[in-house]
């Protein structure tokens, strides 16, 4: 397998992982609450963040009302 193919596969795997996390957290994201795995999902736009601080920053910057 070439280096390029291996790199492509890694990127794809990462994208699929993020996709699964987003789906699994749909219920939690509907309430904008923390999830056990430590992954945070924005309730407004569905963006997945890995830290509470990042989520708060995201809400403040992107969804300031
Ligand atoms: Zn958002």
From CA 39, how far away is CA 47, in angstroms rounded?
A: 10
- How many angstroms is it from 62 CA to the middle of ligand 1? 6
The pLDDT tens digits of the residues spanning 18-62 come to 666 665 566 555 655 555 556 888 888 988 888 888 889 999 999
Output the CA angle 40-43-48, nearest 5 degrees: 35
Q: What are the residue ranges spanned by the domains of the chain?
A: 3-62
Residues lying with their CB under 5 A of ligand 1, a single-atom ion: 42, 44-45, 47, 62
From CA 1, how far away is CA 4, in angstroms rounded?
A: 8
Q: Are strands 40-41 and 48-49 parallel, antiparallel or unpaired?
A: antiparallel
Per-residue pLDDT at 49? 87
- How many angstroms is it from 4 CA to the middle of ligand 1? 33
The model's pTM is: 0.43
Per-residue pLDDT at 58? 94
- How many angstroms is it from 16 CA to the middle of ligand 1? 20
């Amino acid at each position: 397998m070439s280096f390029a193919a291996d790199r492509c596969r890694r990127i794809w795997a990462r994208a699929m992982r993020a996709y699964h996390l987003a789906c699994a957290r749909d219920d939690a994201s509907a309430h904008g609450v923390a999830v056990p795995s430590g992954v945070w999902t924005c309730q407004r736009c569905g963006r997945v963040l890995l830290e509470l601080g990042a989520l708060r920053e995201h809400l403040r910057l992107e969804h300031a009302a």
